[in-house]
Amino acid sequence: MNMLLVSTFYCSDVAHVNMVAKKYRIPGKLGWMLLMSTPGCMLLARMRPRKPYHHGHLEETLLETAIQLIGEVGPAGFTLREVARRAGVSHNARYRHFADREELLAAVAAQGFRELTQAMRAAAQERPNPLDRLKRAGLAYIEFALRRPEHFAVMFDAPVAKRASSEQAEAAEEAFGTLLSLVKGCQDESQLPLGDTLQFALLAWTMVHGIAKLATAKRLPYESRAEILKFAKFVIDESLPVHSENHRHVQKRRKSRSSRQHVAPSLSNRQASP
């Protein structure tokens, strides 16, 4: 520890000491501490004070760090202590925002559900037709899983918390409510059969969720995102129980396209014949 000797003088009472010292600008914001020494002198000790806790974006930093760690070890393998260590804060600092591991996982899941909802709504707005809106939202669901596999894993693979998080529950309900409204829109326009809207929404959800799970687990025989989405579009087009009248119209268009594709090679062959 660096020491600086400064001169002093006494009043009538030796117990009262007046120190005359020059103030110095200290790089790095070092602190000063006075140490009493022998009569006639005083030691001014320079020391570095304990750095106060300060992190302007701790919650965001902990979330980002947790997501990175989940990508490495999965939602069941990470610890709060490791998250704090990687975030560069003390283990106790995370208590300012998250009481335990479950609360941090719930925050990650809520963040994921909110982004999923935004993605589905944005994709649906690109199409005026209700059935096309539903299909586009389904593709957006799969795109989200491919883009945010860590969030997707926490949202659906993490152990169910002992106590429900209102933030997570509300975000999840909003996401499913978006799907319900899209299905209801198709029913209102006779593009899906009338019936239990919830059942049709669950049908649509399980369909795209299955593709998303297989894709994120790399269980599909496709390597690129474009190939996965192409397959997903095929499944959605072939699996949705469209209204009978609309279904006949779609089948008629497909049959017409198929006949043209079969006729084209025969005409080509005929023209090539001598």
**The one-letter amino acid at 163:** R
Res. 101: pLDDT tops 90: no
- Tell me the Ramachandran region of residue 38: left when phi exceeds 0, alpha when psi lies from -120 to 50, beta otherwise: beta
195 and 141: one domain?
A: yes
144 and 201: one domain?
A: yes
Q: Is 258 helix (H, G, I), strand (E, B) or coil?
A: helix
| CATH number of 75's domain | 1.10.10
118 and 209: one domain?
A: yes
Please count the structural domains in the chain.
Answer: 3
What letter would DSSP give residue 250? H
CB 229 within 8 A of CB 237: no
Report yes or no on 144 lying in a domain: yes
What is the predicted pLDDT for the residue at 56?
53
Lowest mean pLDDT among 14-23, 106-115, 152-161, 170-179: 14-23
Q: Which domain holds residue 33?
A: 3-47
Residue-wise pLDDT for 123-152, tens only, equals 999 999 999 999 999 999 999 999 999 999
What is the predicted pLDDT for the residue at 264?
41
Q: How far apart, in whole angstroms, are the C-alpha atoms of residue 199 and residue 187?
A: 12
Closest CA to 67 of 127, 135, 172, 155: 155
94 and 27: one domain?
A: no
Q: How far apart, in whole angstroms, are the C-alpha atoms of residue 123 and residue 146?
A: 15
Res. 32: pLDDT tops 50: no
119 and 227: one domain?
A: yes
What letter would DSSP give residue 256? H
Strand boundaries in 77-218, DSSP class E: none
Report yes or no on 273 lying in a domain: no
Q: What is the rounded average pLDDT of the residues 238-253?
A: 65
**The one-letter amino acid at 50:** R
The answer to whether the predicted template modeling score (pTM) of the entire model surpasses 0.75 is no
Residue-wise pLDDT for 200-228, tens only, equals 999 999 999 999 999 999 999 999 999 99
Neighbours of 2 (CB within 10 A): 8
Of 210 and 4, the structure prediction assigns the larger pLDDT to 210
Report yes or no on 263 lying in a domain: no
